[in-house]
Chains A and B, each alone.
Chain A
Amino acid sequence: MDIDRLGRPADFLLVEDNPGDVRLTQEALKSHKVQNNLHVVTDGEEAMAFLHKQGKYKDAPRPDIILLDLNLPKKDGREVLAEIKSDPALKTIPVVIITSSEAEQDVIKSYNLNANCYVTKPVNLDQFIKVVQSINDFWLTIVKLPGNPD
């Protein structure tokens, strides 16, 4: 279904410092029928370098969707979110906050910074897989995304 909508496999950017969660996300997306390209960076600075195609990321694709954890080393996820959503070249990319924090202030702050949505990492494996797959289905097969401004 992804390929029908976009005409090609989708590019995910996962910004997550916990290798256990990175692997789980990979497994969750792998078990889905359609192929996606999952790019992973493990801190906020790498995330911005990827998005600005700097240094080793000069050939990086523009992601169709960003999965962003809030608690990241070097540059915090909230800062990354703020920078993405204030950059005209990047702000149309859907950003899904996926974090273990249930704190009300984190939810409010994220939406105030224009996160497209906020998801709490489920404790249960099956639910985690379901959530990642739902994100995939919703944002890439149901939702209409703006065309690439390049």
Chain B
Amino acid sequence: MNNFDIPLAVNACSTDDLAKLQVFEKILKGNVEAILITDTRGDIEWVNNTFTAITGYPESEALDRNLGFLFAGGNNEYAALYPKLGEVNHHVAETHMFRKDGSKFPANVTLSAVRSSADMITHYVLEFSDITEFKHAQDELQQRTRELSRSNQELEQFAYVASHDLQEPLRMVASYTQLIAQRYRGKLDKDADEFIEFAVDGATRMQAIINDLLMLSRVGTRNVAFTRTDVKQSLDKALANLRLVIAESGADIVCEALLVLDADGSQLTQLFQNLIGNALKFRGDRAPQIKIGAVQQDGDWQFHVRDNGIGIAPEHFERIFLMFQRLHGKREYPGTGIGLTICKKIVERHGGRIWIESEAGKGTTFLFTIPIQQAE
């Protein structure tokens, strides 16, 4: 007679206890996972309804049998799990189990021990679920991730090779049009001077665009692993790179981001340099006042770079992150329009997002997040 004979237990209990026991049994019987209870040898003393639903074995065909018949490894599989219970309360594993019709299914199995008040193991409890669908979804996801990763790598290589190989012929066009301009300026007619000017200008802009594409593709291809990075150091480096512009614009810059996180330090420097550089460039008439800080929000560090410059109208917020999108003519403000694209790519590589708060004429705040803990 095993311990889970409910009618016998009834005689020893009051009506209240009986009602409670019956509720508990109902809950366990209908639990979403299959539940098996065995003695210390592994012989089955109790199974719930879900066990039958998953395996096809009715209760009568499972009781008193050793649970080895359910596992591909037979008894040995069970025996392998057992020693692990000495140190931990339960052991979770993925394995394969057999149904009554002989078919196999992948299962997630949790094994735990029930101890007496003298801390001796009296029973084992096995809970499992059929994870066939879950495994399919997992495999599909892995496959899709592999394909995407391969496709990404190809694209990045393409961008890098294209920009890299375009450099040399472009150097020829740019250098020789400049040579012609230098050597023959004023010696041919006025039209020629103008034509040469347009050609040189075009070549120079092409060079700038190719350099930018190379820079952008490098954000993807020259990936170093994240390390503990002192944000202040990255910031300081960015400010050092901008020192000339900072000096000549009379900018006042306040940094309150004193924190350390897992990141690519040189990419952080590039990110800050682009954002602060923009704040300095689009300053309007006043001396720039730039504030940089960070707060913790929803598991992320949320950084802000706030300026008192010319501002951005909300209808442009999305567009300016696209490649080579500019809001001004090149005579008003220099630049090819790749800076924010690079910022977005760096932020996204770090698992964050970047957005803007601004109004035309009222300064701009760029905000971006980086998770406090990077995913493995």
A20 to B170, CA, bound (A): 11
The smallest C-beta distance from B209 to any residue of chain A, in angstroms, reads: 12
Q: Are A100 and B167 in contact (CB under 8 A)?
A: yes
Main secondary structure of the interface of A (DSSP, over half): helix
A6 to B172, CA, bound (A): 33
**Minimum CB distance partner of A101 in chain B:** B164
A105 within 8 A of B: no
Q: Are B174 and A100 in contact (CB under 8 A)?
A: no
Q: Are A27 and B179 in contact (CB under 8 A)?
A: yes
Q: What is the 8 Å Cβ interface bit string for chain B, positions 161-181, against chain A (1 contact, 0 not)?
A: 000000110111011101100
**Partner of B171 from A27, A123, A126 at Cβ < 8 Å:** A123
With a cutoff of 8 Å between Cβ atoms, the chain B residues found around residue A126 in the complex are 178
**Minimum CB distance partner of A27 in chain B:** B179
**Chain A contact residue count (CB 8 A cutoff):** 11
Q: Are B175 and A125 in contact (CB under 8 A)?
A: yes
For window 138-174 of B, CB contacts with A under 8 Å fall at 167-168, 170-172, 174
With a cutoff of 8 Å between Cβ atoms, the chain A residues found around residue B168 in the complex are 18, 100
Among A24, A123, A126, residue most surrounded by chain B Cβ atoms (within 10 Å): A123
With a cutoff of 8 Å between Cβ atoms, the chain A residues found around residue B178 in the complex are 125-126
Q: Are B167 and A24 in contact (CB under 8 A)?
A: no
**Minimum CB distance partner of A126 in chain B:** B178
The smallest C-beta distance from A96 to any residue of chain B, in angstroms, reads: 19
With a cutoff of 8 Å between Cβ atoms, the chain B residues found around residue A100 in the complex are 167-168, 171
A139 within 8 A of B: no
The smallest C-beta distance from B202 to any residue of chain A, in angstroms, reads: 15
A147 to B44, CA, bound (A): 97
With a cutoff of 8 Å between Cβ atoms, the chain A residues found around residue B167 in the complex are 100, 123
Binding site for B on A (CB under 8 A): 18, 20, 24, 27, 100, 121, 123-126, 128
Q: List 5 A-B contacts (CB under 8 A).
A: A100-B171, A123-B171, A124-B174, A124-B207, A126-B178
